[in-house]
Amino acid sequence: MHPEDSIEVSCSHRRLVWNECELQNAIEAVRSYLGKKMPSGMLSIALMTGPQLSRIHAQFLDDPSPTDVITFPGDPKHAFAGEICVSVSRAWSACRKHQTSFAEELMLYIVHGCLHLAGYDDHSEPDIAAIRKAERSTMAHLQSEGRIPGFSIKETQARP
């Protein structure tokens, strides 16, 4: 990592249980794994509810439909790597559908955002194949290093 690299995490999902140190270490491992492809500077991660991310999707991308992750590129002149906004609610729903752990699904969304910042795209079939391959490789690296944060949801009667 570059000396000016930092990670700022905000969480507006009240039921998400997470450890900031574990998440910081996981993101540092992703940055290290991606190397020079990943922009340097401060990286912002926003862990949000589904409706919050849908509002951002509508405001900035003119699409009010639900989504799992939105990535905003940074500004190298201001040592800003970018911002990754993630729907905790979508990860919770998707992990059941895909039969993965919630922690892996949520970390996959963060990895996906990092890959966008590293120059990967997902608008054409070849691009989608490339980003999926990079997701699998990056997630396998994190798993082998024991770097998947222990995300969980506080159980209540209501849905996440």
On whether residue 17 sits in a domain, the answer given is: yes
Confidence (pTM):
0.94
Q: What is the pLDDT of residues 62-106, one digit of tens each?
A: 998 899 999 999 999 999 999 999 999 999 999 989 889 999 999
Complete DSSP assignment for 89-126:
HHHHHHHHHHT--HHHHHHHHHHHHHHHHTT---SSHH
Structure tokens at 44: 């912002």
Task: List the structure tokens of 46.
Answer: 């926003």
Residue 158 lies in a domain: no
> Tokens for 137?
């490789």
Domain that holds residue 133: 6-152
Q: What is the CATH number of the domain that holds 148?
A: 3.40.390.30
Residue 159 lies inside a defined structural domain of this protein: no
- pLDDT score of 159: 58
Mean pLDDT of the chain: 94
Residue 82 in domain: yes
Which tens digits make up the pLDDT trace of 7-62? 999 999 999 999 999 999 999 999 999 999 999 999 999 999 999 999 999 999 99
The answer as to whether 120 is a domain residue is yes
Q: Has residue 1 been placed in a domain? A: no
Question: How far is the C-alpha of 72 from the C-alpha of 29, rounded, in Å?
Answer: 20
* CA geometry: angle 127, 52, 63, nearest 5 deg: 50
Domain count, the chain: 1
Asked whether residue 127 is domain-assigned, the answer is yes
Q: Is position 140 within any domain?
A: yes
